[in-house]
Amino acid sequence: METIDLIITKRIAKILLDTAPPNCINILMKSNLNAEGDDAEFFYNYVKIDGTTGWFVPENGIIDNEIHELLLQHRNFFVSQGHPMWAACILTIDVGRGNVSMDLQYD
């Protein structure tokens, strides 16, 4: 059985895969959350098959809100398990290998 944090991470990855430009081999999302959880900052980057790099913005603003809510759930789960509150994260997707990783950063 998967833990809540892994389920949330996979949901975020699915959203990013559906939102990123076509032909990406790597997708990276960096997010900063304030301590209150009412403000977030997002950066979305990609690498395409041909080596082209760039950034993208989801076409639908609801995507940012959905990812924000999922990140809050992730952070709250970690805190409920006795971990310190993280302030930022970097989620990386290696599309070809099907790998997803989430690095948490603390203040």
pLDDT beyond 90 at 59: no
Where does the pLDDT of residue 61 fall: very low under 50, low under 70, confident under 90, or very high at 90 and above? Answer: confident
What digits encode the pLDDT tens for the residues 15-45? 999 999 999 999 999 999 999 999 999 999 9
- For the CA atoms of 77, 101, 15, 74, the dihedral, rounded to the nearest 10 degrees, stands at 10
Q: What crossing angle do the helices spanning 4-19 and 61-80 adopt, rounded to 10°?
A: 160
8 A C-beta contact, residue 106 and residue 86: yes
Q: Does residue 51 register a pLDDT over 90?
A: yes
* 89-98 pLDDT per residue, tens: 999 999 999 9
| Amino acid letter, 93 | I
Residue 41, H or E segment = strand 40-48
In angstroms, the CA 80 to CA 4 distance is: 11
* % of residues, the chain, pLDDT over 90: 93
The pTM (predicted TM-score) of the whole model is: 0.94
Work out the mean pLDDT of the chain and round it to a whole number. 96
- Which pair of structure tokens corresponds to residue 88? 């930022």
H-type alpha helices, the chain: 4-19, 61-80
